Amino acid sequence: MTPVLVLVAQAAATWFLTGLIWLVQLVHYPLFAMADRSTFPAFANAHSRLITPVVGPPMVLEALVAAWLVVQRPPAVPASWAWAGLALVVVIWVSTAALQVPMHSRLAGGFDAQAHQWLVASNWIRTVAWSLRAVLCAAMLLRLFETALAE
């Protein structure tokens, strides 16, 4: 795969995940508080089971292409931008594993207001990181297009 295709794949995965995380942050996670308490464990488990195939493949793709761009990037893209993109992916994955997954595990046992509040609050880390990645991807593509048009 050429560095340009890797950059396009990164932008597609990142922009998809950015839109998804904003939907989760502003709509889906707040709605957890309104779910029926008697069926909440089933609701929470269904959320985890159904969201994983939606977020998993694009997150893996995003991580792979972010790492690839550090090693082989288009010359128009500064190395520091590629490293910043990879660092943001690390922030997202660490936040997911260390903060959001444990809160989902707690909620799987039943609604817990404190766990829910922490899930919503801590998810801002991923929301901001993905938003920064979205801007970074746009900047990378813009730099690539400007360079191509100047030639």
Residues 62-96 have pLDDT tens digits of 999 999 999 999 999 999 999 999 999 999 999 99
> How confident is the model at residue 99, as a pLDDT?
98
Query: Domain limits at 122?
Result: 3-150
Q: Say whether pLDDT at 1 is over 90.
A: no
Q: What does the alpha-carbon distance between residue 111 and residue 94 come to, in Å, rounded to a whole number?
A: 24
pTM: 0.95
pLDDT per residue over 13-34, tens digit each?
A: 999 999 999 999 999 999 999 9
Angle at 25 between CA 21 and CA 28, to 5 degrees: 100
Q: Are 146 and 41 in contact (CB under 8 A)?
A: no
Q: What does the alpha-carbon distance between residue 115 and residue 121 come to, in Å, rounded to a whole number?
A: 10
What's the number of domains the chain is made of? Answer: 1
> How confident is the model at residue 150, as a pLDDT?
84
pLDDT per residue over 98-150, tens digit each?
A: 999 999 999 999 999 999 999 999 999 999 999 999 999 999 999 998 988 88
Helix runs in the chain, H state only: 3-23, 29-31, 40-71, 79-95, 101-108, 113-150
pLDDT band at 61 (very low <50, low <70, confident <90, very high): very high
Give the residue among 47, 46, 44, 55 at the shortest CA–CA distance from 14: 55
